[in-house]
Amino acid sequence: MTGYHVIFPIFALSLPLLLIGVIRKLKARFQNRIGAPLYQPLIDVIKFLKKGQVISEHASLALGGASALSCAVCMLLTLSAPWLGVAHSIIPLDIFTFIYLLVFVRLATLLVAIDPNSPFGGFGASREVLLSVLVEPAVMLCLVSLAVAGKSTMMSQLFSFSDSALLHHSGLWLLAGCGLYISSLVELSRMPADDPTTHLELTMTHEAMILENSGPNLAAVQYTAAMKLAVLLGISGQCFLHAIGPLWTAGAVVQVVASCLTVVILAGSIAVIEGTVTKLRWTKLPEFIAYAVGFGLLCLFQAIGGA
């Protein structure tokens, strides 16, 4: 038990909320507003935890239970996935377990959406299912191509700046980073796919699903979304960082600092996208996701060509 074991969890579990703060702040600047302070999401979560709850008369125990489960799974992922460039082995997390823990979170969110019997929740869930079916192969192709090139499925080994088989695959890293970035925009219900701040019931996906959550329940859901954002963006950021050759030989401190900076920059890029781009029409979304799948296929070609 060293200081690292105390500081790292606190840091890793609080950075996601800060990232949301960064996105909100930058977005506000785009709209000529000053914006709330960076730590506002943290304050929001604490506020929600203190508030009372309004629960639908049709909701069952599944509503709170599923949000608790998905929050816990996301905490586990945040602590064990190498999104901050720290290779540690709390869990022997391989890429398949990583993806299916995210599926766990999705299934729990779908149940939260359907449980209170709201038509909006139902339609949000229906949209989420469709998007996930389209996005899933892209994520899988990117990660599995990396795994084939590195000859290991363990995330801690792939993303550790030490697998010499992967050092000269800058192209593969870059393509995988792009593919994962685009698919995380869709998975996180971010701008070209879904507008997280609008509450237009006709088109929203994630917000429609969490419409019935309030108080501590809402705190859990928002915290879950923040952690998912951090982990997904962090993994795609790690891909970009691994494409930079000199970083492989730099010290661990440089790598961790670069990782943190990358996550913040990627969060900033989401804010830039949300400040400049409008939401895509629902029927145009498969074409957008096709870019992610395209990057995945390019990764695949790289992986079968090399090694």
296 binds other proteins (CB under 8 A): yes
99 binds other proteins (CB under 8 A): yes
Of 23 and 299, nearer to other proteins (C-beta) is 299
Contact criterion met (CB below 8 Å) for 296 and 142 = yes
| Range 105-144, binding other proteins (CB under 8 A) | 106-107, 110-111, 113-123, 125-127, 129-130, 132-137, 139-141, 144
6 binds other proteins (CB under 8 A): no
Q: Could you tell me which of 154, 145, 218, 231 has the C-alpha nearest to residue 188?
A: 231
Q: Which two tokens stand for residue 216?
A: 């501590």
39 binds other proteins (CB under 8 A): no
Given candidates 18, 42, 148, 158, which one binds other proteins under the rule CB under 8 A? 148
284 binds other proteins (CB under 8 A): no
> For the chain, how far is it from start to end, CA to CA, in angstroms?
40
267 binds other proteins (CB under 8 A): no
Question: What phi-psi label fits residue 215: left (phi over 0), alpha (psi between -120 and 50 degrees) or beta?
Answer: left
Given candidates 9, 35, 215, 275, which one binds other proteins under the rule CB under 8 A? 215
Task: Name the 3-class secondary structure at 154.
Answer: strand
> Which range, of 28-36, 67-75, 168-176, 265-273, touches other proteins by CB under 8 A?
67-75
**CB 133, min distance to other proteins, A:** 4
287 binds other proteins (CB under 8 A): no
**CB 198, min distance to other proteins, A:** 15
| Count of residues of this chain found to bind other proteins when the rule CB under 8 A is applied | 87
HSE of 269, CA atoms in CB hemisphere, 13 A: 16
Distance (Å, rounded) from C-alpha 242 to C-alpha 158?
10
Of 22 and 175, nearer to other proteins (C-beta) is 175
Q: Which two tokens stand for residue 129?
A: 């299912």
227 binds other proteins (CB under 8 A): no
Q: Which residues contact 133 (CB under 8 A, 6 or more apart)?
A: none
Distance (Å, rounded) from C-alpha 63 to C-alpha 68?
9
